[in-house]
Structure 1
């Protein structure tokens, strides 16, 4: 089965020109922070993890992360089997799974990459599809997890049910929602009541736990809108009526009153606290310009700084989905995963804001 992946063909700034630079190379233009590529994590030339031979994964993307019992859960999007190809999309592929998940036993430092310790499987040597999809274009093309979180022993994945891929960087959703697992990710249940409508600004999210709340940074389906913010107590995560939305001044139960805290154009995003800079960091794709952006804020509600350019499609054609790691956020290095479409894999990179601490917030 072939999978239609037009959403991953990024916009004007990210045309498919070739592959990124090799591991260990650093790059910086005057207006960029600069990045160092640490490793390709998933199958492909020089990949750190042999996901093709171990779990039948020749191509996959995303790789957002959350912690559970001292381990890192890494969640992927549409996942395909062989055959291998330098230009992944030059040949048809079979064995389409809409999503899958790996476990990582975290090293003391990610400086040499991240080894996938194990994968959730449905049979020996085969990564399991966690959340099923109809795989019918115009009905439910696929189901993509956009972020995860653990609440005590239960795992949650926020997902989007994609109705149809549109023009590059645009797609429509049936709805988004939450799924949960009580057996360390082996089996999942899509909650029938916790649903956001297809046109909601919470079609895709980044989830942050802070001061007794889970914060959901939301964007709609696609990559051309701004960010809104919701929060809920962790033990009420499945209670839609308990979600509160930031209206620019305070919290309200009205989703329609949610303010835009970061303006368009925001694609897949992640948010983490960095104790070295003493700031919240937000990283996301700016699709029309083919850039990965980084903003900072003293408070989750903002104000968020003007964006800094982390890297661009000039270095990594068809780049998208930057996800800051859940660990190692206590120094000047900012570690993150990023996907590349042409070779269809997940990379680990690092960048840095400055070697000088930011003034602590008041």
Structure 2
């Protein structure tokens, strides 16, 4: 896994006369993880459009009243299935419009949930079912004075329950920018069928954890977060699985002090801006942390890796480009990728306003 380099040195030793002694110093040089062979495997949501040849196993517009939606935040649930949280969702009357997005479609729900036991993703991702009522409620106050919508940002199974972290969006702004009222958690104890608000956890409108990604390792849930929007830097926190609802037990990474308990403002930057729609996993095959996200400035979905969660993180590696997939965003890794050199992730595209399953191969750089 490490590339070995040897450096030849010459040392002069005085022992009655000068002798030249040669030796080799062993240096282990970390190699970055490189994605390659990107392909679009299937459509995950919505109706196939004219000329599209991708598999569309879910036909969500017909079967679940989901014509247009985005995101697809994936996590391994307690019952072994994989859950997928989607964002603003619209009904069967959804039509692709030139400017992208939902257009004038009806039956607006801020979030819905897909459930899947599909373990063979090579031919596409198939749902067992969907929970298509709005899970995290919003009154949809669209004049900028209240809750416009409630968007999932991450999900995790911890301490015997499934949790979703969401942001309560106050107002959409310019490209990649928005403001929130707060961010919080909802919880399900019946495999995603019903959800209840967790009043114990709340992040403020300017919090560096307004949007997050979760991953578990060694009894901890690690949480990398940003401020609202796609232009912030990344910050790190962790908590024991059993403490997910004890916000005062959360620890935040400070580059000088290390882990600092219950001091959110002590969290230092671990990855420089800009990051949007984060996804985090520990890959057991490569023994590396992997993070994927949208770099809005580059208009690319990118990947970084690190041996340690607090870094240093590698340089960005391109996963997908907007020049190939216009209006792309989101890069939510499927849990099946956590012990593999095949990286499956869910990618949204703004104009069709739907979600697609993507696949890339991973390798260490030569």
What does 1:104-119 correspond to in 2, within 5 Å?
Answer: 104-107=116-119, 109-119=120-130
Residues 328 and 265 of structure 1: CA distance in aligned 2, closer, same or farther (over 3 Å): closer
Gaps of 5+ in 2: 1-33, 49-53
Distance apart, 1:273 and its partner CA? 1.6
For residues 187-246 of structure 1, what are the alpha-carbon distances to aligned partners after superposition, in whole Å with 9 as ceiling and x for unaligned? 222222310100001011100111111111101110001110111111111111100000
Task: Say if 2:39 is the partner of 1:36.
Answer: yes
Q: Contact (CA 8 Å) 1:230, 1:246: kept in 2 or not?
A: yes
Distance 1:317 1:297 in 2: 29
Distance 1:341 1:312 in 2: 14
- Number of residue equivalences: 320
Greater shift, 270-279 or 222-231, is seen at 270-279
Distance apart, 1:357 and its partner CA? 8.1
For residues 266-325 of structure 1, what are the alpha-carbon distances to aligned partners after superposition, in whole Å with 9 as ceiling and x for unaligned? 001111122232211110000121101100001111110011111110001110010111
Gaps of 5+ in 1: 1-30, 121-126
Task: Give the secondary-structure state (helix, strand or coil) at the position aligned to 2:309.
Answer: coil
Q: Contact (CA 8 Å) 1:64, 1:76: kept in 2 or not?
A: yes
Residues 195 and 248 of structure 1: CA distance in aligned 2, closer, same or farther (over 3 Å): same
Distance 2:84 2:246 in 1: 26
Task: Say if 2:260 is the partner of 1:252.
Answer: yes
2:314 — aligned with what? 305
Q: Contact (CA 8 Å) 2:90, 2:102: kept in 1 or not?
A: no
Task: Say if 2:111 is the partner of 1:99.
Answer: yes
Q: Which runs of 4+ in 1 moved over 3 A?
A: 31-34, 86-91
What does 1:191-230 correspond to in 2, within 5 Å?
Answer: 191-230=198-237
Distance 1:164 1:89 in 2: 16
Q: Contact (CA 8 Å) 1:33, 1:311: kept in 2 or not?
A: no
Residues 201 and 114 of structure 1: CA distance in aligned 2, closer, same or farther (over 3 Å): same
Task: Say if 2:271 is the partner of 1:262.
Answer: yes
Task: Give the secondary-structure state (helix, strand or coil) at the position aligned to 1:167.
Answer: coil
Q: Contact (CA 8 Å) 2:62, 2:92: kept in 1 or not?
A: no
Task: Give the secondary-structure state (helix, strand or coil) at the position aligned to 2:122.
Answer: coil
Task: Give the secondary-structure state (helix, strand or coil) at the position aligned to 2:126.
Answer: coil
Distance 1:39 1:263 in 2: 32
What does 1:251-290 correspond to in 2, within 5 Å?
Answer: 251-253=259-261, 254-290=263-299
Task: Say if 2:141 is the partner of 1:131.
Answer: no
TM-score, normalised relative to structure 2: 0.84
Distance 2:205 2:335 in 1: 29
Task: Give the secondary-structure state (helix, strand or coil) at the position aligned to 1:241.
Answer: helix
Task: Give the secondary-structure state (helix, strand or coil) at the position aligned to 2:123.
Answer: coil
Task: Say if 2:171 is the partner of 1:164.
Answer: yes
Distance 2:35 2:121 in 1: 23
Between structure 1 and structure 2, the one with the greater Rg is: 2
Q: Contact (CA 8 Å) 1:44, 1:86: kept in 2 or not?
A: no
Distance 1:143 1:117 in 2: 25
Q: Contact (CA 8 Å) 2:94, 2:102: kept in 1 or not?
A: no
For residues 152-191 of structure 1, what are the alpha-carbon distances to aligned partners after superposition, in whole Å with 9 as ceiling and x for unaligned? 4311110100010011100001000111122222222222
Q: Contact (CA 8 Å) 1:276, 1:357: kept in 2 or not?
A: no
Q: Contact (CA 8 Å) 1:34, 1:311: kept in 2 or not?
A: no
Distance 1:202 1:303 in 2: 20
CA RMSD of aligned residues (A): 1.8
Distance 1:357 1:117 in 2: 38
Residues 90 and 230 of structure 1: CA distance in aligned 2, closer, same or farther (over 3 Å): closer
2:82 — aligned with what? 72
- Higher normalized strand content (fraction of residues): 2
Distance 1:162 1:90 in 2: 17
Distance 1:136 1:84 in 2: 21
1:83 — aligned with what? 93
Distance apart, 1:48 and its partner CA? 2.6
Distance 1:318 1:44 in 2: 18
Q: Contact (CA 8 Å) 2:183, 2:202: kept in 1 or not?
A: yes
Q: Which has the higher contact order (CA 8 A, sep 6+)?
A: 1
2:21 — aligned with what? none
Residues 184 and 330 of structure 1: CA distance in aligned 2, closer, same or farther (over 3 Å): closer
